[in-house]
A = this chain, B = another copy of it.
Amino acid sequence: MKDLTLSKQDLQAMDQRHRTRLINSLSGFKSANLIGTYDNQGVTNLAVISSVVHLGSHPPLFGFIVRPSKRRRHTLENILETKHFTINSIGADFVKNAHQTSARYPKSVSEFETVGLTPYYDDDFPAPFVLESSLKIGLAFKEQITIESNQTQMLIGEVITIHAPKSAVMPDGYLDLEALDTVTVSGLDSYHVTQRLHRLSYAKPDESLFPLTREGDPTSW
C-alpha cells in the first residue's frame, strides 16, 4: 500500500474538522462508554466518552478525559458537585441512543430522557447507571488533573461497585466483553463489533506464547 507521510506543518495547514477526524483516529480502537452523573438539583446527565483508561487495579482506578469545551462541562461540574459517577458499556443495540448524547443539550435536560435510555439505581450508590448497559460500574471521585499542554482535565475515580452478567465472567477473572455485544469506537463516530482472535499466555523472556480460549489458562484459575 502506498504510504502517506504527514508532517507537523501538514497537520497545521489542514482544515480544522478534517484534522480533528484524522487525529482522533490515530490512537486505534477506543472504548465506548456512557458516563452517568447527577447534580445537586437531582438532574441526571449522560455523556458518550471514548477516553476511559485503566490506571490501576489495587485500588481499582479509572480515569477519563474532559476536553475544555462547553459540551462536556456538565459531566465535570456534576462529578465535582456530587463526587460520584458511573461508567456504562455501550452495546450494539443502543449505539444510536448513546451517540445522540454528544449533542449540545442545555443542563436542565437529562440525556437519559431525550435519547431514550433508562436510569437505573442500586440501593447503595447515588449516581444513575444505564439500565440498557450489560456492564455497569459505580465510582467515587478521587482526583482531578489538569494537563498543562492543553488545559484538558482528567477525572479519576475508584471502583465501588460492579454489575456484570455472571455468564461473562471467566474462571480467571477475565470479562468477555464480546459476549455482551460491547462496541468499540474509532475516530469520532465509527462504531464496531469485534471478533476474538485469541487470548495469549503470559509472556516470559524464554518461553513461547501459546493461544488461549476465552476461559484463559486453566493452570492460573
Binding site for B on A (CB under 8 A): 1-8, 11, 14-33, 50-63, 65, 67, 87, 89-90, 92, 95-96, 99-105, 114, 122, 124, 134-135, 137, 142-143, 145, 147-150, 152, 154, 156, 158-170, 172-175, 177-178, 182-184, 186-205, 209, 212, 214, 216, 220
Contacts of A156 in B (CB 8 A): 147, 149
Question: Beyond A51-B54, A195-B192, A200-B99, is A150–B22 a contact (Cβ under 8 Å)?
Answer: no
Instruction: Choose from B26, B55, B57, B199 the contact partner of A175 (Cβ within 8 Å).
Output: B26
Contact A197 B189 (CB under 8 A): no
CA distance A148 to B174 in the complex (A): 27
For this chain, the copies found in one complex come to: 2
Question: Beyond A1-B167, A150-B55, A197-B191, is A184–B19 a contact (Cβ under 8 Å)?
Answer: no
Contact B145 A147 (CB under 8 A): yes
Contacts of A194 in B (CB 8 A): 29, 184, 186, 192-195
CA distance A192 to B183 in the complex (A): 12
Contact B191 A152 (CB under 8 A): no
Question: Beyond A95-B200, A99-B203, is A172–B56 a contact (Cβ under 8 Å)?
Answer: no
Min distance, Cβ A18 to any Cβ of chain B, angstroms: 4
Instruction: Choose from B95, B159, B173 the contact partner of A21 (Cβ within 8 Å).
Output: B173
Question: Beyond A31-B28, A148-B143, is A172–B18 a contact (Cβ under 8 Å)?
Answer: yes
Sampled A-B contacts (27; CB under 8 Å):
A1-B134, A1-B165, A1-B167, A11-B162, A18-B173, A21-B173, A23-B159, A24-B57, A26-B175, A27-B52, A28-B90, A28-B184, A29-B32, A29-B177, A30-B31, A55-B150, A61-B149, A96-B200, A96-B209, A103-B203, A103-B204, A145-B145, A145-B154, A174-B188, A174-B190, A175-B186, A186-B194
